[in-house]
A and B are shown apart, each in its own frame.
Chain A
Amino acid sequence: MRDLSSDLPVRLEGVSLRAGATTILDRVDLSIAPGAPTLIVGPNGSGKTSLLRLCMGLATPSEGRISWGGRDALRPGRLAMLFQRPVMLRRSVADNVVYGLAKAGLPRKQRMARMEEALSRVGLLELASRPARRLSGGEQQRVALARALAREPELLLLDEPTASLDPAATRAVEEIITMASQSGIKVVMASHDLGQVRRLAGEVVFLVRGRLCERAGASDFFDRPSTLEAAAFVRGDLVI
């Protein structure tokens, strides 16, 4: 599935996104290169989801330019995205993963082995034959992770994947994300959970009202935030 050319870095230059009169993202410049996880943080409505959707090619910018590895179009199959509420197909857990592999063009013979490997990586192999939509929220998110990771993406975009999960399920998901990152997959994840950002982030991109307010390494962001908004956010004050 991999070829030599890469879709990284994903580069956003002066990207704005508008819906009617509302500005969702305002002139964002950002480059996403291989490395430690990038956490996109900010209050609700700050544009985190839209930023991820733009990177995934699910939305097109109203202004500005996005490029993937220097090209204007992303090539299918190299990027994967997880949504806040996992979308489970009305099929078994195994078939959900196999479906993703089939659509990524993996030859039929290799799909079963890859599916089993992916499900055991997220600890769900014993649930393979269960209907995916009957699983708990945390298990569904792990199935979505297995489906995404089985495709061996170069870049994994995650939109607050643990927002509605309990601590145990959150930890399970975070462990998988860490594992994926360590295996060389670039992780970009939206979150508004400060604890989670501390646990996972290599670098932090801080959005406020659609503008890129601050971008820093995780330790710098928490120890020496350079903007008032970031300082307030790190303190746990309400940033609106």
Chain B
Amino acid sequence: MSDSLSAWELIISGDATLYAIVRLSLAVSLSAVAIAVLVGLPLGAAVALTRFRGRTALIVLLNGFMGLPPVVVGLTVFLLLSRSGPLGVFGILFTPLAMVIAQALLVVPIIASLSRQTIEDLWHEYRDELTAMNVGAAGRMATLLWDSRYSLLTALLAGFGRAAAEVGTVMIVGGNIDGFTRTMTTTIALETSKGNLPLAMGLGLILITLILMINAAAWGVRVWSEQRAG
């Protein structure tokens, strides 16, 4: 990667190193969001639909964890995964997998918290009708998740935005290893401190463009499907 090239030249010339970084960033953040969806949606739905002791505390905790400092999550995962940590035997510190785990931890509270709110609102509306139709607990959850799918898309986007934009956790647990765990955000931080502003800016532009594109696509899907389902 030449330092003398401008940001645009790097993008247009299809610089291999640059695109490898972009691919890795997307792969890590999308995997993290996928895992967070599998954990966060059922968690959000379960909290929305059940009453138990400590429920309010859990809701406050989930809401609060939406703002978890990435560096703290990174540090925690680092301690868990380091050689002497409880999960050190797996040897996954400084791998993309470690970055996926750390980002998933950041995103789960966002998806769980936002989906809980969405599902609970819809449940207030549907409750009598579903009870009158004798819909069981599993059926309720499935119905509410399905019927609020477009609103839940917003929760997913918020989660993806968080994962794609953060730099603290991936820096700590990934180690910013060139060609292996270097992502867009860690590269931007590194290149900026090195004074290689064109590359940093090029990556910054790509990052913003990707996030906008994904949001635009999701918005399109939402508008299109809302016209069909109401």
Contact = CB atoms under 8 A, between A and B. Distances in A.
B230 A91 contact: yes
11 contacts: A58-B132, A76-B134, A81-B128, A83-B129, A87-B128, A87-B129, A90-B229, A92-B228, A131-B226, A131-B229, A134-B230
A187 to B, nearest CB: 16
A211 interface: no
Contact of B147 (A77, A80, A89, A103): A89
Interface string B116-149: 0000000001101101111100010001000110
Nearest to B151: A90
Mostly, the B contact residues are helix
Contact of A77 (B126, B134, B226): B134
B139 A87 contact: no
B227 to A, nearest CB: 7
A121 B132 CA distance: 22
Contacts of A92: 228-230
B128 A131 contact: no
Contacts of B229: 90-92, 131
A220 B24 CA distance: 81
Nearest to A77: B134
A104 B132 CA distance: 11
> How big is chain A's contact interface, by range?
20 to 34
Contacts of B147: 89-91
Interface string A130-158: 11111000000000000000000000000
Contacts of B126: 87, 89
Contact of B135 (A58, A91, A103, A132): A103
A210 interface: no
A128 interface: no
A41 interface: no
A89 B129 CA distance: 9
The residue in B135, B147, B230 that gathers the most chain A C-beta atoms within 10 A of its C-beta is B230
> How big is chain B's contact interface, by range?
10 to 19
Interface string B204-230: 000000000000000000000011111
A83 B128 contact: yes
Given A89-B126, A131-B230, 18 more contacts: A58-B131, A58-B132, A79-B132, A80-B132, A81-B128, A83-B128, A87-B125, A87-B126, A89-B129, A89-B147, A90-B147, A91-B147, A91-B229, A99-B133, A99-B143, A104-B133, A131-B229, A133-B230
Contacts of A132: 230
A103 B228 contact: no
Contact of A131 (B129, B131, B134, B227): B227
Top 7 closest pairs, chain A to chain B, by CB: A131-B230, A76-B134, A133-B230, A87-B129, A90-B147, A81-B132, A103-B133
The residue in B126, B128, B129, B229 that gathers the most chain A C-beta atoms within 10 A of its C-beta is B129
A111 B128 CA distance: 23
Contacts of A131: 226-230
A208 interface: no
Contacts of B230: 88, 90-92, 130-134
Nearest to B133: A103
Contacts of A134: 230
